[in-house]
């Protein structure tokens, strides 16, 4: 019966294809047929049941500085991101005109190609080292923090380059910028549809927009493929011939270029950014099943097609450069995007939709499927839209499915925004809707970039960390100049400061506000991630050929930037604690980072059996570094003097760096410091901006307080998360998502103290559960099963062999492992039984 009706409808439809789409649709709705929608919400999915409209369209032409809110609400809180690590988009799911925002991670303003050229661009460091002795002397003269040191630091330890776009005639720091938008008119009125759903399926890395229009099921499917460097938008309908589409590109308004026909079924935009002449190309090709495709006035028109696939390729002329010539305006130019987009498009077209989709799924699943989490046997039911779930959660309704979803969403975002061969995830991962954005959507190095990579290794996505390591490599050569400029010509090694870009920028910015702009341990902090990558993967080749050099250069800088005081001790003077407080003669945070990178360098040099004398030096500095101190209300002191304010609610908790992400404070090895850290966290409180709650969640987990960690996780979900599950600083900042995912792992397993600690911070609310496929340092993969709040069984897969030490509560067990073998650990009555599987 149904088939007959469909056939009649089809004839009717074909007869009206040349009438304006809307009119045709209006007539068509009179033939109502039930449509059995495929349910794409099944499994792990984030979804909405109401469409967006076009109210935010092109709002990105408005710059919004560092403002707390994105002017485009629908984009920020109700769209879905797709990405392949470099090429991404946001799907708005509006009915009448689909709107897709577009990003390529290397599309940046600024750099050495701005007017003024390379010499101007690289002239960003001051010569702070010239007043270093004076500053240090003042700390002796005035017995600590003093206004002479503050003024000298403010005037000499900033840089020459502005951070605000209008701060310089030729703005060289630059900004990540939008690649424009696609608008696809469909001729279908929102008022005429039912059963609308917009779904991000985490199981398949696919966005689906679906609805019933006049009894026909419409599906739009969107994904960005890493193996084929192509984005695909597929418009399907259960009734043949119903697709009437006009596909238009709207360019970044701060660029020049034009849209032209690319053959008879596609368009191409070849443009250059006004700021720096960066060339970028977008190429679209429509492949329609039946119907006609034409190109008119720069738009693709599809009429009367059954299903239509749009293949979209985009690229820029950006080239990463590890060894930039400081006189070369074009040091970061080196790709021909006309060619790369053509090749990618041709290749994908030849492969066809099914093969491209299958390759995308295989690539994604190989990463995503490694980790499964099940809290209290939560059934994977996605029977209500995510915004309602979140609203219920905010009202105190427990929802472990939502918690699992949030955890896996972080893994999805990392796979979508950080893949080998490209830049790391920036402040918004890969997604931005504006010509410039908050904090230039840059690489922010006093917590944010680092937080982006907290989950990479433990969430079994170590491949996704390679962009960070490649990026760190790009900072070394410019970072050596910065190190020398501020700490003297004999300073060894490299560093970077609070904000970096894709053009090797490592200098401080021009602001005299030292609380945020003085950030010389940013380089060593980044370099700890190089060690972490090794420690998880135990890839000794990597350590030898790539990693060690980065770690060593960073440890050398860490040592040379310290003040070797007359009494023989070492202190970071001057230094600050982000992003508040005075210019100090030894901020706890700076020392904690120095400790960590020196420990890393010592271990790395031992493994490679190199640099014995450097090792001694590193150990000597470690021994004589100013120690942690406990202040008047029992708190871990943030500065060298006991000036902490117990009412201080500041979001940065960097002085607890040794607790997390570092490993120099732990309830097991340093109980007093751990208690002092707890006092800091209690005073700071459980609210904050998105990423800050994400960080405190990790820190509470490191204190082995599962219920308090869970409280922070709940606060992050309730108060720091948009309906599409993006982290809200606000505005949207992706770091909190990654901090949240990492924090859940820290609650279930830790491995930073030389052993694998199972369920170190299990909250009462997660009484039973399973997690499969977490990674621990030492190259172990771990599954954990627990019931009624107690460990029942763990499975350890050893990737590199060697001793495995496991801790649960106060019990420890050590056993030797062979690479490639797996071991079951049964825990019963405080005893472990270990079986080789």
Binding site for ligand FUC (CB under 6 A): 427, 439, 444, 446, 448, 516, 579, 651-652, 689, 691, 729, 733
Residue 517 · residue 498 · CB < 8 Å: yes
Residue 63 · residue 165 · CB < 8 Å: yes
Min dist. Cβ of residue 46 to ligand FUC (A):
23
Copy the structure tokens of residue 483: 């190190």
Min dist. Cβ of residue 157 to ligand FUC (A):
17
Residue 547 · residue 604 · CB < 8 Å: yes
Min dist. Cβ of residue 438 to ligand FUC (A):
7
- Measured on CA atoms in the order 253, 256, 257, 258, is the torsion positive or negative? positive
Of 371 and 509, nearer to ligand FUC (C-beta) is 509
Indicate the DSSP class of residue 333.
Answer: B
Q: How far apart are CA 308 and CA 545, in angstroms?
A: 48
Of 120 and 454, nearer to ligand FUC (C-beta) is 454
Min dist. Cβ of residue 732 to ligand FUC (A):
11
Min dist. Cβ of residue 733 to ligand FUC (A):
6
For residue 642, which of 586, 687, 604, 684 has the smallest C-alpha distance?
586
Min dist. Cβ of residue 716 to ligand FUC (A):
14
Q: Please state, in angstroms and as integers, the Cα–Cα distance from residue 265 to each residue in 98, 179, 306, 550, 630, following that order.
A: 19, 22, 16, 49, 70
Cα 516 from chain centre = 21
Residue 629 · residue 635 · CB < 8 Å: no
Of 66 and 170, nearer to ligand FUC (C-beta) is 66
Own/partner long-range contacts of 778-785 (Cβ < 8 Å, ≥24 apart): 778/535, 778/536, 778/538, 778/751, 778/802, 778/804, 779/536, 779/537, 779/538, 780/751, 780/756, 780/804, 780/817, 781/460, 782/749, 782/756, 782/758, 784/748, 784/749, 784/758, 784/759
Of 83 and 730, nearer to ligand FUC (C-beta) is 730
Min dist. Cβ of residue 447 to ligand FUC (A):
6
Strands 802-808 and 756-758: parallel
- Within 573-670, residue ranges assigned H as helices are 588-608, 612-624
Min dist. Cβ of residue 728 to ligand FUC (A):
11
Angle between helices 706-719 and 400-417 in degrees, nearest 10: 70
Of 651 and 777, nearer to ligand FUC (C-beta) is 651
Min dist. Cβ of residue 443 to ligand FUC (A):
10
Of 439 and 700, nearer to ligand FUC (C-beta) is 439
Sheet of 802-808: strand order equals: 749-750, 756-758, 802-808, 811-817
For residue 721, which of 449, 450, 403 has the smallest C-alpha distance?
403
Of 349 and 447, nearer to ligand FUC (C-beta) is 447
Of 706 and 736, nearer to ligand FUC (C-beta) is 736
Instruction: Give the CB-nearest residue to ligand FUC.
Output: 439
Residue 666 · residue 659 · CB < 8 Å: yes
Min dist. Cβ of residue 439 to ligand FUC (A):
4
Q: Please state, in angstroms and as integers, the Cα–Cα distance from residue 58 to each residue in 52, 67, 99, 182, 746, following that order.
A: 14, 18, 10, 10, 41
Of 385 and 437, nearer to ligand FUC (C-beta) is 437
Of 427 and 665, nearer to ligand FUC (C-beta) is 427
Residue 595 · residue 622 · CB < 8 Å: yes
Q: How far apart are CA 492 and CA 553, in angstroms?
A: 7
Of 427 and 543, nearer to ligand FUC (C-beta) is 427
Strands 193-201 and 206-213: antiparallel
Min dist. Cβ of residue 579 to ligand FUC (A):
5
């Amino acid at each position: 019966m149904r088939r007959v009706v469909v056939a009649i409808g089809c004839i009717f439809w074909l007869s009206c294809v040349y009438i304006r789409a809307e009119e045709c649709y209006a007539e068509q709705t009179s033939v109502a047929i039930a449509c059995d929608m495929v349910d794409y919400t099944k499994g792990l999915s984030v979804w909405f049941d109401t469409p967006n409209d076009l109210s935010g369209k092109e709002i990105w032409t408005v710059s919004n500085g560092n403002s707390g809110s994105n002017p485009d609400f629908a984009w920020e809180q109700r769209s879905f991101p797709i990405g392949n690590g470099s090429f991404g988009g946001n799907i708005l799911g509006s009915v009448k005109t689909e709107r897709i925002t577009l990003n390529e991670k290397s599309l940046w303003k600024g750099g050495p190609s701005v007017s003024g050229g390379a010499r101007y661009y690289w002239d960003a460091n001051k010569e702070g080292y010239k007043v270093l002795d004076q500053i240090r002397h003042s700390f002796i003269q005035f017995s600590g923090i003093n206004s002479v040191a503050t003024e000298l630091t403010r005037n000499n330890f900033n840089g020459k380059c502005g951070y605000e776009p209008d701060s310089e005639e030729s703005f060289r720091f630059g900004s990540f910028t939008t690649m424009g938008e696609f608008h696809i008119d469909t001729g279908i009125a929102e008022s005429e549809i039912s059963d609308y759903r917009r779904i991000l399926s985490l199981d398949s890395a696919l966005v689906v927009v679906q609805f019933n229009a006049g009894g026909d099921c419409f599906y739009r499917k969107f994904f960005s493929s890493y193996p084929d460097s192509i984005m695909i938008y597929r418009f399907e309908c259960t009734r043949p011939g119903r697709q009437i589409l006009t596909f238009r590109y709207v360019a970044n308004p701060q660029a020049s270029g034009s849209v032209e026909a690319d053959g008879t079924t596609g368009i191409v935009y070849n443009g250059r950014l006004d700021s720096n002449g960066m060339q970028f190309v977008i190429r679209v090709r429509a492949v329609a099943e039946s119907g006609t495709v034409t190109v008119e006035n720069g738009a693709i028109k599809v009429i009367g097609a059954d299903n239509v696939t749009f293949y979209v390729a985009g690229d820029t002329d950006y080239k990463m450069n590890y060894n930039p010539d400081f006189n070369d305006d074009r040091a970061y130019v080196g790709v021909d995007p006309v060619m790369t987009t053509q090749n990618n498009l041709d290749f994908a077209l030849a492969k066809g939709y099914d093969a491209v989709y299958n390759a995308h799924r295989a690539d994604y699943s190989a990463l995503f499927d490694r980790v499964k989490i099940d809290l209290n046997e939560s059934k994977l039911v996605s029977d209500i839209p995510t915004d309602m779930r979140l609203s219920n959660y905010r009202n105190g309704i427990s929802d472990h499915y939502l918690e699992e979803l949030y955890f896996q969403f972080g893994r999805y975002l990392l796979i979508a925004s950080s893949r080998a061969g490209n830049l790391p995830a920036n402040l918004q991962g890969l997604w931005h809707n504006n010509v410039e954005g908050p904090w230039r959507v840059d690489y922010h190095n006093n917590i944010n970039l680092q937080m982006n990579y907290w989950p990479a290794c433990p969430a079994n996505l170590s491949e996704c960390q390679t962009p960070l390591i490649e990026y760190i490599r790009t900072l070394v050569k410019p970072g050596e100049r910065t190190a020398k400029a501020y700490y003297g010509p004999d300073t060894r090694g490299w560093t970077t400061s609070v904000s970096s870009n894709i053009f090797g920028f490592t200098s401080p910015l021009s602001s005299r506000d030292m609380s945020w702009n003085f950030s010389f341990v940013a380089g060593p902090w980044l370099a700890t991630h190089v060690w972490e990558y090794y420690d998880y993967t135990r890839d000794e080749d990597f350590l030898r050929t790539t990693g060690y050099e980065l770690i060593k250069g960073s440890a050398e800088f860490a040592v040379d930037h310290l003040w070797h005081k007359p009494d023989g001790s070492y202190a970071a003077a001057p230094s600050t604690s982000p992003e508040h407080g005075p210019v100090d003669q030894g901020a706890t945070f700076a020392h904690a980072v120095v400790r960590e990178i020196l420990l890393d360098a010592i271990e790395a040099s031992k493994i490679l059996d190199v640099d014995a004398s450097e090792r001694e030096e590193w150990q000597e500095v470690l021994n004589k570094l100013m120690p942690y101190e406990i202040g008047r209300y029992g708190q871990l002191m943030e500065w060298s003097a006991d000036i902490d304010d117990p009412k201080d609610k500041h979001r940065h908790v960097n002085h607890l760096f040794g607790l997390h992400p570092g490993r120099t404070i732990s309830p097991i090895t340093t109980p007093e410091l751990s208690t002092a850290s707890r006092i800091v966290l209690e005073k700071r409180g459980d609210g904050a901006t998105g990423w800050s709650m994400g960080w405190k969640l990790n820190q509470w987990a490191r204190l082995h307080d599962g219920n308090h960690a869970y409280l922070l996780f709940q606060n992050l979900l309730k108060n720091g998360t948009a309906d599409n599950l993006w982290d809200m600083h606000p505005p949207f900042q992706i770091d909190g998502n990654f901090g949240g995912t990492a924090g859940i792992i820290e609650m279930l397993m830790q491995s930073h103290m030389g052993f694998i600690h199972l369920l170190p911070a299990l909250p009462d609310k997660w009484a039973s559960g399973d997690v499969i496929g977490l990674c621990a340092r030492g190259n172990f993969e771990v599954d954990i099963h627990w019931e009624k709040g107690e460990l029942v069984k763990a499975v350890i897969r050893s990737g590199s062999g060697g001793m495995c030490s496991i801790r649960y509560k106060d019990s420890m067990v050590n056993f030797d492992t062979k690479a490639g073998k797996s071991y079951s650990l049964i825990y019963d009555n405080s005893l472990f039984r270990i079986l080789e599987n």
